[in-house]
Structure 1
Amino acid sequence: MRILVFANTPAHVHLYRHAVDRLERADHDVLVLTREYACTTDLLEFFELPYRVYGDHGTDAYSKLRFARELGGQFGTIVRESIRFRPDVVFGRGPYAALAGTVTRTPVVLVLDDEPGDFNHTVSRPFADCILSPEVTRRDLGDDHYTFEGFKECAYLHPDVFEPDADVREYLGVDPDEPYVLVRFNALDALHDTDLEGFTREQRRDLIEHLSERATVFVSDEGGDMDLRDYPARPYDLHPALIHDAMSEASLLVADTGTMATEAALLGTPAFRYRGNDEHEYGEFEELERAGLAEEFDDYGAIRDRSLDILEDDGAAARWQERRREYAGDLVNLTDLLVEVATSRGAVDRLSSSTRQSIRPRSQSM
């Protein structure tokens, strides 16, 4: 079979990388279409995935304006690459996957979550043959929409899939018992981030200064515009493919971005997310909060003070790991599901009986 996968962000690479590897080892022909965005192509290179680039999307205002002007050209490249590859099934989200499936008359599988991406969902839904999303997502996208118990991050962080690199502390230059915090600042440059505000410049400094009194602080700045020479913190400068290994050893993750907070929670690391002015309710976060693995905050002072409290709590790490063991082991291994959906060309009725039992029509889970 020939499987076409769209990976437009680093999160998409992680979502599909294990499935791509397994499909290739089973002698299927896989192609990943991607764009130059953040560390997306770095990850594809690291994991040795077969890919071609159809465009780029930077993180500053000029890059976004250029992206809008060049969108037609990117669509043209997608059309050419898709026709040349002749896929049997297409995986992705938004207009990219929809376009590829339309021009090649190929089944389209969308893997979605609860982000406020109404535009992407609206334009791609009519072209989808199968839509997969976590059961906790709120949308009902029609008869071809199926849910699974878990999160899209279960494709790479499920306990049956994730194996941490035992040397990550050595890579970071921290001692075996040295507490450290990962702080992630969002670039807020994606379509669904329009008009959102995360930590302010003043809040970033205040947060780092307070955290550094209790732990070593590593900063991952998605926008890339922070000069940390004047801060009591180190830049997170390992290869981006090692971020989950670093998360798994951290005492705490603090972020104003959703994906990394979800990832840390599923790894059993206390995960605190600052909402800023984001009023969207995420089913994934509500579920992780219910499980005691993540916490969200509307008030900056509250997230700072709670972060300091957790760093003083000697029993926090053990409690979070126990919660992960009790919760995550029962979630769906999404990689297993993606592989079988791929080999069935997106046809749910062709799935094995055990796999069909792991998903259900969205209309039945509302």
Structure 2
Amino acid sequence: MVRFLSDALTPKQARIAALLKLEGAKRGVEVEITCRHYMHVSDILDMYGVSYRCFGQYGLTVYEKLVYGIERQRELAEVARQVDGMLGFPSPDAARVVFGLGKPVLVLNDTPHATQVNRLVIPLSEALVAPAAIPEEMWRPYCPRKVVTFDGVFEYMWTSRFKPDESVVKSLGLEPGGYVVFRPEERYAAYYKWEYTELRIKLARAVEGLGYNVVNVPRYPDQVLEGAINLTRAVDHLQLAYFSAGVITGGASMATEAALLGVPALSYFPQSYYVDRYLAEKGAPLYRCDSLETCLLSLREMLRRGRSAPIRLEDPAGIIFDAALSAVSR
């Protein structure tokens, strides 16, 4: 049996790793999941009922990122000795040890703007799997040996398998349609250079002024919102989004998930995403804004328009496994 290491560093990557493990088992492929201690990551893996090993932590400063990464590499090396390659989103620590052991690295990615991690990982890869919505020239600075594309987004892997369960939100004391979900910006990521705390707080106050509860899913302890329902331990974010009136995020993943489910979503990430434009053109209710004024206008518009029918895209699971097995067989 072919075995891959998948190192999950974020909740989104945890979902991908869990689905790869479950789908891989049907294809005779074993996926060994590792992770670091970061808010909501192990919670997501537990929800899928998959086995994993979690060690190391997230660094807030560039020095911490470096030192904690070096410490993780020693433990990851022991896992990497037992696998045939790496499969997953860019993990500098996992890519370093897998490449160092002479084994292939297959990278999944939809964030060409994450320059630091991409420069460290993509040049080591045998292939890069990415949404076709992102022009291949956006990957060129990272020197990929091969780019494999698909007509969709990675989030479709789990939104297309989603089954609504109202009991999840009821257990939180929430009424379907009576709340808006907030996911703060990724303020400590190496690529994030902006300050949107004030914008996020003003948006939350505006949502409350419209009669909705604010359900906040912070990435870090200092993003807890006063007066909001703060979820510091993960529930199923898909259930949370599905039964909400809308989702607001400073990133992309939760907005993408919501829009794929037909739930209106707003992102105030300060740079344009190719994937966002792609989804909007497909008919997903995904909105973008870049200032308090445009965000308030978009907020009212998305809540007025409400839900839409989910869109259909290409599931990338088969393409991912085909590319991974091809890399190992070389």
TM-score range, shorter chain: 0.7 to 0.9
Matches within 5 A, 1:104-183: 104-138=101-135, 139-141=138-140, 142-157=144-159, 159=160, 161-176=161-176, 178-183=177-182
- 1:296-338, Cα deviation, whole Å (9 max, x unpaired): 1111122123313433x2x522xx22xx3xxx32x11123333
Q: Secondary structure at the match of 1:182?
A: strand
Say whether the 8 Å CA contact 1:107–1:345 is kept in structure 2. Answer: no
> Is 1:338 the equivalent of 2:327?
no
Q: Could you say what secondary structure the match of 2:196 adopts?
A: coil
TM-score where L is the length of structure 2: 0.86
Asked whether 1:78 is paired with 2:59, we answer no
The answer to whether residue 214 in structure 2 is matched with residue 217 in structure 1 is yes
C-alpha RMSD over aligned residues: 2.5
Amino acid across the alignment from 2:231: Y
TM-score, reference length from structure 1: 0.79
For 2:63 and 2:168, locate their aligned partners in 1 and report how far apart those are by CA, in whole Å.
Answer: 38
The aligned runs of 1:149-298 (5 Å cut-off) are 149-157=151-159, 159=160, 161-176=161-176, 178-193=177-192, 195-200=193-198, 203-214=199-210, 215-226=212-223, 228-229=225-226, 231=227, 233-236=228-231, 239-275=233-269, 278=270, 280-292=271-283, 293-298=285-290
Paired position in structure 2 for 1:90: 86
AA partner of residue 81 (structure 1) = V
The amino acid of 1:305's aligned partner reads L
**Mean alpha-carbon deviation: is it higher for 23-32 or for 148-157?**
23-32
Deviations 1:185-230 (A, max 9, x none): 124111222x222232xx344322221133222122222225545x
Answer 1 or 2: higher relative contact order, Cα 8 Å, separation at least 6.
1
- 1:316 aligns to 2:306 (yes or no): yes
* SS in structure 1 of the partner of residue 239 of structure 2: helix
Question: When the two structures are aligned, how many residues end up with a matched partner?
Answer: 321
Shift of 1:131: 1.1
Q: 1:68 to 1:154 in 2, by over 3 A?
A: same
User: What is the distance in 2 between the residues matched to 1:3 and 1:43?
Assistant: 20
C-alpha spacing 1:346/1:248, structure 2 compared with 1 (3 Å): farther
Task: Specify the SS of the correspondent of 2:110.
Answer: coil
Report the alpha carbon displacement of residue 25 of structure 1 after superposing the two structures with TM.
Answer: 5.3
Other structure's SS at 1:225 match: helix
Q: Which residue identity is paired with 2:279?
A: L
Structure 2 residue matching 1:172: 3-state secondary structure:
coil
List alignment gaps of at least 5 residues for structure 1: 350-366
Structure 2: runs of 5 or more not aligned? none
Share of identical aligned residues, percent?
21
- Which whole-Å CA distance do the structure 2 matches of 1:295 and 1:262 have between them? 10
> Residues 258 and 348 (structure 1 numbering): CA distance in 2 closer, same or farther, change over 3 Å?
farther
CA distance in 1, matches of 2:187, 2:225: 19
